[in-house]
Amino acid sequence: MFDTQPLYKVAKVLLAPRKGILAADQSVTSMNKQLESLGLKPTPELRRLYRQLLFTTPGMEEFVSGVILHDASIRNHTDEGTKFSDVLIAKGIIPIIKVDKGTVPHDNYPREVLTQGLDDLAERAREYYNMGARASKWRAVLTISDNTPTMENLRTDAMTMARYASIMQNAGLLPIVEPEVLFSGSHSLRRAQAVTTETLRVFFSALVEQKVDLKAVILKSSMVLAGSSHKNQSTPEEVAVATIETFKQSVPETVPGIVFLSGGQTPKRATANLNAIAKLEAESDLPWEFAFSFSRGIEEPVQNAWLGKKENVPLAQAELIKRLRLNSLADGGEYSPDME
């Protein structure tokens, strides 16, 4: 069994105050859709150029502690032939590898899915470690409706994620667990809070059952807010109260920290909600460090500035730094919409 104490140091670095984790781990399919939305024809080279734009941005290390990579990215390189993982390591940024292989329908459970990827995971983990990764991520996807998620779906996905976490720790990689409760839907804030609370309880119960060291785990969580099509959209203050109440009822104190996904929110809304959570955190006696781990919430303005053009790279990198700086301020409760 691997000594998990070195992973405590990895967690501390990733959860450094005023820094966050850049989630640049979109699958090839997801990345292609984003490029197509910009009016671009997706190609492996265009995907590489976009990743290069992100990872070579001067000064990003001031705001970024880790970057989540897809398999295709950790194997890729800059124009000069430097591996992307080495670019990040040279900046003092920890490479994090997404290791799940997406979702498949949960047989006999309509509208529910299960995450796959346990096959050959131990072997892949060793390979990623040798490539420079020191942490990993696994995502589960939960949908809120009148009859979902079911307890059977939660338990099955939770046990799979717990096995992932155990395998990662034994391979020397810090596991980031991401049970994402989707923002999409017409559910109320109260319903979102109830589902997120139950989800986290079930998932952490499975982690304990599999003897995962919770001091060497980071939770990547949804913010708790009413569904995207609910008539009453949650204010930042409501999001902060519901989110922190949820964590108090479901996340063990031994977990070192929680990072937030943007989960379909606009960049401005995700940053405003993060800021409200940070303000309430400062007033509360909480055992966890909080940080951001946004994808769309950071990258959307970057992509819109880039548009696949080499001459737009400096402008796109400036947009990246802008959003990182705003989220760094929000992490300290010092953000204002006037800064946009």
The catalytic position among 19, 91, 98, 220 is 220
DSSP 75: T
Question: Residue 225 class from Cβ within 10 Å (0-12 exposed, 13-18 middle, 19+ buried)?
Answer: buried
In this structure, the number of other CB atoms found within 10 A of the CB of residue 209 comes to 11
Can you say whether the dihedral through the CA atoms of 19, 195, 244, 248 is positive or negative? negative
Residues 6+ apart with CB under 8 A from 298: 22, 23, 262, 267, 320, 323, 324, 327
Exactly one of 19, 112, 137, 178 is catalytic; which is it?
178
Query: In sequence order, what DSSP letters do the residues of 90-118 get, joined into one string?
Result: HTTPEEEEE----EEE-TTSTT-EEE---
Q: Is 220 a catalytic residue?
A: yes
Place of tokens 């003092």: 92
Q: How many residues would you count in the chain?
A: 340
Mind telling me the catalytic residues?
178, 220
